[in-house]
Structure 1
Amino acid sequence: MWTTANIPDLTGKTAIVTGGNTGVGYETVKALYKAGATVIVAARDYGKAQAAIDAIQAAGPGRGQMSVGLLNLANLTSIGTFADAVKTDYNSLDILVNNAGVMIPPASTTDDGYELQFGVNFLGHFALTGHLLPLLQQAAHARVVTVSSGAAIRVDGIDFDNLRLEKPYDAWREYAVSKLADILFTRELDRKASGILSVAAHPGVTRTDLQRHIPAEELAGLFARFDTVMEPWQGALPQLYTATAPGIAGGAFYGPDGDQEFSGYPALSHYNTPAMQDEQLAARLWDYATEVTGIHFSF
Structure 2
Amino acid sequence: MATTAAPTASKAFGATSTTDEVLKGVNLAGKRVLVTGVSAGLGVETARALAAHGAEVVGAARDLAKAKAATVEVRAGAANGGGLELVELDLASLASVRACADALLADASPFDLVIANAGVMACPFGKTADGFETQFGANHLGHFVLVNRIAALMKPGSRLVNLSSAGHRYSDVDLDDPNFDRTPFDPWIAYGRSKTANVLFAVEFDRRHKTSGVAATAVHPGGIQTELSRHLTREAMQALVDRINAANRAAGEPDMSFKTIPQGAATSVWAGAVATADEVGGRYCEDCHVAEIVPDPASRRGVKPYALDPERAKALWAKSEEMAGERF
Confirm or deny a common fold (TM above 0.5).
Answer: yes
* Letter paired with 1:232: I
CA contact (8 A) 2:48 2:78 kept: no
Q: Please tell me whether residue 276 in structure 1 is matched to residue 307 in structure 2.
A: yes
Q: Please tell me whether residue 144 in structure 1 is matched to residue 138 in structure 2.
A: no
- What does the per-residue CA deviation read over 1:198-228, in whole Å, with 9 as the maximum and x for residues that have no partner? 0110111111110111111221454464452
Separation of aligned partners in 2, 1:38 and 1:277: 32
Q: Please tell me whether residue 13 in structure 1 is matched to residue 31 in structure 2.
A: yes
- In the alignment, what sits opposite 1:236? 265
CA contact (8 A) 1:130 1:295 kept: no
* Letter paired with 2:113: I
Superposed, which structure 2 residues align to 1:1-299 within 5 Å?
A: 1-2=12-13, 3=18, 4-7=20-23, 8-58=26-76, 60-63=77-80, 64-136=82-154, 139-155=155-171, 157-166=172-181, 167-193=183-209, 194=211, 195-223=213-241, 225=245, 226=255, 228-247=257-276, 248-256=279-287, 266-270=288-292, 271-297=302-328
Separation of aligned partners in 1, 2:238 and 2:44: 23
Separation of aligned partners in 1, 2:169 and 2:83: 37
- What does the per-residue CA deviation read over 1:24-47, in whole Å, with 9 as the maximum and x for residues that have no partner? 111100011101111111000010
- What does the per-residue CA deviation read over 1:63-109, in whole Å, with 9 as the maximum and x for residues that have no partner? 30101110000111111100111122233111100010000111001
CA contact (8 A) 1:16 1:95 kept: yes
Q: How far did residue 23 of structure 1 move?
A: 0.9
- In the alignment, what sits opposite 2:299? none
- What does the per-residue CA deviation read over 1:254-276, in whole Å, with 9 as the maximum and x for residues that have no partner? 112xxxxxxxxx11113233312
CA contact (8 A) 2:91 2:138 kept: yes
- In the alignment, what sits opposite 1:261? none
* Letter paired with 1:172: W
Q: Structure 1 residues 188, 177: CA separation in 2 closer, same or farther (over 3 Å shift)?
A: same
Q: How far did residue 282 of structure 1 move?
A: 1.3
CA contact (8 A) 1:114 1:165 kept: no
Moved more, 195-204 or 1-10: 1-10
Q: How far did residue 121 of structure 1 move?
A: 0.8
Q: Structure 1 residues 213, 182: CA separation in 2 closer, same or farther (over 3 Å shift)?
A: same
Separation of aligned partners in 1, 2:124 and 2:281: 35
CA contact (8 A) 1:223 1:229 kept: no
Q: Supply the RMSD in Å over aligned alpha carbons.
A: 1.6
* Letter paired with 2:50: L
Aligned residues: 284
CA contact (8 A) 2:45 2:262 kept: yes
Separation of aligned partners in 1, 2:275 and 2:256: 31
**Structure 1: unaligned runs, 5 residues or longer:** 257-265
Separation of aligned partners in 2, 1:149 and 1:288: 22
* Letter paired with 2:324: T
Q: What's the TM-score, normalizing by structure 2?
A: 0.82
- In the alignment, what sits opposite 2:252? none
* Letter paired with 2:201: F
**Structure 2: unaligned runs, 5 residues or longer:** 1-11, 246-254, 293-301
Separation of aligned partners in 2, 1:241 and 1:100: 18
Separation of aligned partners in 2, 1:267 and 1:85: 34
